[in-house]
């Protein structure tokens, strides 16, 4: 704890950039990313993820923080933090490619006495069973003899300006008791609300995976209730409001579950559990139910249109929002595309308006064309899919053809204009 730490954060996305900027307030810090365009953007003082303001980023750069895509620039660091994505493949199996590649890269430059900490969400055991052996193989060094390791799960909530990185209480862990203390000290030095030091790396890994799995299961239960109550013509949110008057009721709401955390992380634990001969039935069912909610919303809209006598074939439909959550540009694993895909079976006249999402990125990722320009046409159906604050200024009535349907996924629109909501 008495040595001077030079920190390198590997991966400058939604997790890595805010973390690197925070560490740069106390330590010499370099951010590393393989994406040259991302590095150029950040060094010019702009973060397209909107996780940190341009003013804050430029202040950090003036204070000595810098970003690079050159491995030679980070060889002098001695405390490496890996914050790369942990996605799943088309069959929902963990894709370890980014994590393995990052571990190999660290192995190329790590020196004796250095520490590597992983922040990427993984199943219990992955750091020690998959990542660190790659570091050892490439570097020729031995864990806990030549170098040391730890795990501190990320808790970034994209678009959340209240629970920012410095306010989050972080879980830490280390490969030896002494290193656990050192890692805990370093994180504690920049966090307002401190840390919780877990007894092992595996415990820290498990704590992260159940945080998001728990939310996934709870939201799935509410989505199932929404389906039941919608069929019974009972407003789900009225039911939730009534039930939440009890002191120990947990107020979750139905919704689309996308993004890179809640909709992805459970698959890592599901896969690992099966290795031990356990089939996690509740988690698996929750994933299946939540993954089907986009199609459910689309079918509810079609049902409402049919009831009103609106011809669905070739109907004009407007979808408001495509990002996976409100007030951020993150489109990873958004379930709004499932609404679009289901409705496209009936009509090609679908407009997706989202002023926060990048048009080119959406088209490259989903082969869907969106617009950042406020619509000035009229539609047979309008679906509020994402509750961006910018949509509060929209006059929905001006967008509607006679007898049109309004469906409110987020339950934020005035009830008198809404034909259905989740």
Closest by CA to 363, choosing from 322, 317, 320, is 322
pLDDT number for residue 142: 98
398-403: average pLDDT: 93
- Reply yes or no on whether the pLDDT at 125 is more than 80: yes
H or E segment to which residue 342 belongs: helix 336-343
Q: What are the pLDDT digits (tens) for 179-222?
A: 999 999 999 999 999 999 999 999 999 999 999 999 999 999 99
Residue-wise DSSP of 22-79: HHTTTSEEEEE-S-HHHHHHHHTT--TT-SS-HHHHHHHHHTT-EEES-GGGGTT--E
pLDDT number for residue 38: 97
Residues 6+ positions from 228 with CB-CB distance below 8 Å: none
**Cα–Cα distance, 256 to 233 (Å, whole number):** 20
- Reply yes or no on whether the pLDDT at 3 is more than 80: no
Q: What are the pLDDT digits (tens) for 76-90?
A: 999 999 999 999 998
Residue 333, sorted as left (phi over 0), alpha (psi -120 to 50) or beta, turns out to be left
H or E segment to which residue 301 belongs: helix 293-307
Residue-wise DSSP of 205-248: HHHHHHHHHHHHHHHHHHHHHHHHHHHTT--HHHHHHHHTTSTT
244-273: average pLDDT: 94
Catalytic residue among 77, 131, 261, 328: 261
- Reply yes or no on whether the pLDDT at 249 is more than 60: yes
Residues 6+ positions from 9 with CB-CB distance below 8 Å: 16, 17, 19, 20, 23, 29, 30, 31, 32, 81, 83
130 three-class SS: helix
- Reply yes or no on whether the pLDDT at 175 is more than 80: yes
Q: What percent of the chain has pLDDT over 70?
A: 99
Closest by CA to 3, choosing from 63, 66, 76, 78, is 78
Instruction: Give residue 161's pLDDT band: very low, low, confident or very high (50, 70, 90).
Output: confident
Residue 131 a catalytic site member: no
Closest by CA to 380, choosing from 349, 338, 355, 352, is 349
Q: What percent of the chain has pLDDT over 90?
A: 93
Q: What are the pLDDT digits (tens) for 222-232?
A: 999 999 999 99
Instruction: Give residue 159's pLDDT band: very low, low, confident or very high (50, 70, 90).
Output: confident
163-184: average pLDDT: 95
309-313: average pLDDT: 96
194 three-class SS: coil
* Cβ-contact 120, 82 below 8 angstroms: yes
Q: What are the pLDDT digits (tens) for 367-397?
A: 999 999 999 899 999 999 999 999 998 999 9
Instruction: Give residue 2's pLDDT band: very low, low, confident or very high (50, 70, 90).
Output: low
- Reply yes or no on whether the pLDDT at 1 is more than 60: no
305 three-class SS: helix
- Reply yes or no on whether the pLDDT at 116 is more than 60: yes
Instruction: Give residue 297's pLDDT band: very low, low, confident or very high (50, 70, 90).
Output: very high
- Reply yes or no on whether the pLDDT at 17 is more than 90: yes
The mean pLDDT of the chain is 95
39-60: average pLDDT: 95
HEC readout, 67-121: EECCHHHHCCCCEEEECCCCCECCCCCECCHHHHHHHHHHHHHCCCCCEEEECCC
3-30: average pLDDT: 95
Beta bridge partners of 142: none
**Cα–Cα distance, 82 to 129 (Å, whole number):** 16
405 three-class SS: strand
**Cα–Cα distance, 180 to 164 (Å, whole number):** 24
pLDDT number for residue 330: 94
343 three-class SS: helix
CA-CA-CA-CA torsion sign (148, 153, 157, 161): negative
* Cβ-contact 340, 370 below 8 angstroms: no
pTM: 0.92
């Amino acid at each position: 704890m008495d040595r001077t730490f030079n920190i390198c954060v590997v991966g400058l996305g939604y997790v890595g950039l805010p973390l690197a900027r925070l560490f740069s307030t106390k330590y010499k810090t370099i951010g590393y990313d393989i994406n040259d365009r991302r590095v150029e953007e950040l060094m010019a003082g702009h973060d397209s993820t909107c996780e940190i303001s341009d003013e804050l980023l430029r202040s950090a750069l003036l204070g000595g923080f810098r970003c690079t895509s050159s491995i030679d620039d980070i060889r002098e660091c001695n405390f490496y933090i890996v914050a790369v994505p942990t996605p799943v493949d088309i069959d929902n199996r963990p894709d370890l490619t980014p994590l393995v590649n990052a571990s190999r890269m660290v192995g190329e430059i790590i020196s004796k006495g250095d520490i590597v900490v992983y922040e990427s969400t993984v199943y219990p055991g992955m750091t020690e069973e998959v990542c660190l052996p790659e570091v050892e193989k490439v570097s020729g060094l031995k864990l806990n003899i030549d170098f040391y390791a730890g795990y501190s799960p990320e808790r970034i909530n994209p678009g959340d300006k209240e629970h920012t990185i410095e306010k989050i209480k972080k879980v830490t862990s280390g490969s030896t008791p002494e290193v656990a203390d050192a890692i805990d000290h370093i994180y504690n030095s920049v966090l307002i609300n401190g840390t919780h030091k877990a007894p092992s790396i595996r415990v820290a890994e498990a704590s992260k995976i159940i945080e998001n799995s728990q939310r996934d299961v709870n939201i799935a239960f509410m989505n199932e209730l929404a389906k039941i109550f919608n069929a019974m013509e009972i407003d789900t949110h009225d039911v939730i409001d009534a039930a939440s008057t009890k002191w120990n009721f947990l107020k979750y709401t139905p919704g689309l579950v996308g993004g890179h955390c809640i909709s992805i992380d459970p698959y890592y634990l599901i896969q690992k559990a099966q290795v031990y001969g356990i089939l996690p039935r509740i988690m698996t069912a929750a994933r299946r139910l939540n993954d089907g909610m986009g199609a459910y919303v689309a079918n509810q809209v079609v049902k409402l249109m049919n009831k009103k006598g609106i011809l669905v074939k070739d109907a004009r439909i407007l979808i408001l929002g495509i990002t996976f959550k409100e007030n951020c540009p993150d489109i990873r694993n958004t379930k709004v595309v499932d609404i679009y895909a289901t409705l496209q079976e009936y009509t090609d006249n679908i407009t997706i308006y989202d002023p926060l999402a990048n048009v080119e990125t959406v088209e490259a990722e989903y082969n869907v064309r969106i617009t950042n320009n406020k619509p000035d046409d009229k539609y047979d159906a309008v679906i509020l899919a994402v509750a961006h604050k910018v949509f509060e200024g929209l006059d929905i009535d001006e967008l509607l053809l006679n007898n049109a349907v309004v469906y409110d996924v987020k339950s934020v629109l005035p009830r008198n204009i809404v034909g259905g909501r989740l």
